[in-house]
């Protein structure tokens, strides 16, 4: 009688090996997906934490700013208040290395301008109120801000305000810095580091971003992740030196 051939366990072992590899791959993928999900759900800082912890960043790493975060940062600034709701700000978001190098030249060769993956150029349009007035009144009416019957009165008020205004650059600076500061705070809340920069040559900045000659260059905001140690806290004056109650010089107890 012929002897039966011994059972071949190689196929069984192969199947088991493949199953084990598939299981291990699934575990790794699940772990990776969980890590990605955690990364996407970065804890957003409170405004109190941002104010207490923020420092002006001296050097930036090349780590990019996530697209969805950048959109939140910019949109936060666009929600800022402004005089007569005229929103005279214009922002140029600079991300390409070539453009950042141009801005560095226009900003007295400050390295952080080129290092930061995102630089927001904040501009003020002194003639924007003329071009945007009708659109502002229409948008305001759509949101119940004012009745269309009041539009003539509003136009007269705004025309009178700006025709008699003695310092348009100062007015623009106030409006634009409110919006840019809001962007800065949102960036910090999302875990990024920032640096406001006012050392630049206006004409060269305008040329670098192709802005019209009439635009006022207000400030630059660098956004990214710091490289190296954070800037040390410089301290602040005591409250009784800068905050008063009812009249200048009368301390406000805090």
Six token digits for residue 179:
């919006």
Q: What is the pLDDT of residue 36?
A: 43
d(Cα 25, Cα 20) in Å, to the nearest integer?
9
pTM: 0.81
Q: Which residues, in sequence order, are bridge partners of residue 56? A: 194
d(Cα 13, Cα 178) in Å, to the nearest integer?
68
CB 223 within 8 A of CB 196: no
H helix or E strand, kind and range, residue 157: helix 151-163
Question: Is the domain covering 47-242 a CATH 3.40.109.10 domain?
Answer: yes
Q: Mean pLDDT for the chain?
A: 87
Six token digits for residue 27:
């575990």
d(Cα 85, Cα 83) in Å, to the nearest integer?
5
Q: Tens digits of per-residue pLDDT, 143-157?
A: 887 776 778 888 999
CB 49 within 8 A of CB 185: no
Q: Which of 125, 124, 123, 129 is nearest to 162 (CA)?
A: 129
pLDDT of residue 8 exceeding 90: no
Q: Tens digits of per-residue pLDDT, 49-77?
A: 999 999 999 999 999 999 999 999 999 99
Of 15 and 133, which is predicted with more confidence?
Answer: 133
Min mean pLDDT across 15-24, 57-66, 215-224 is at 15-24
Q: What is the pLDDT of residue 18?
A: 55
pLDDT of residue 209 exceeding 70: yes
Percent above pLDDT 70 for the chain:
83
């Amino acid at each position: 009688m012929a002897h039966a051939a011994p059972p071949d366990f190689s196929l069984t072992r192969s199947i088991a090996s493949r199953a084990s590899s598939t299981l291990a791959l699934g575990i790794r993928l699940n772990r990776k997906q969980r890590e990605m999900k955690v990364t996407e759900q970065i804890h957003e800082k409170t405004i109190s934490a941002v104010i207490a912890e923020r420092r002006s960043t001296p050097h930036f790493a090349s780590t990019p700013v996530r697209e969805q975060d950048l959109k939140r940062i910019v949109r936060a600034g666009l929600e800022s208040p402004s005089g007569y709701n005229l929103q005279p700000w214009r922002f140029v978001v600079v991300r390409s290395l070539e453009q950042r190098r141009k801005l560095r030249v226009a900003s007295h060769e400050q390295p952080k301008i080129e290092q930061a993956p995102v630089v927001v150029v904040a501009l003020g349009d002194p003639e924007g109120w003329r071009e945007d007035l009708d659109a502002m009144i229409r948008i305001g009416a759509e949101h119940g801000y004012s009745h269309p019957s009041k539009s003539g009165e509003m136009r007269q008020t705004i025309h009178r305000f700006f025709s008699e205004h003695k310092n348009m650059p100062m007015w623009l600076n106030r409006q634009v810095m409110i919006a840019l500061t809001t962007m800065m705070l949102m960036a910090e809340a999302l875990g990024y580091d920032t640096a406001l920069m006012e050392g630049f040559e206006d004409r060269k900045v305008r040329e670098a971003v192709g802005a019209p000659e009439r635009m006022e260059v207000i400030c630059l905001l660098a956004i990214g992740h710091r490289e190296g140690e954070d800037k040390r806290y410089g301290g602040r004056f005591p409250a009784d030196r800068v905050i008063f109650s009812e009249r200048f010089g009368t301390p406000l107890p805090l």
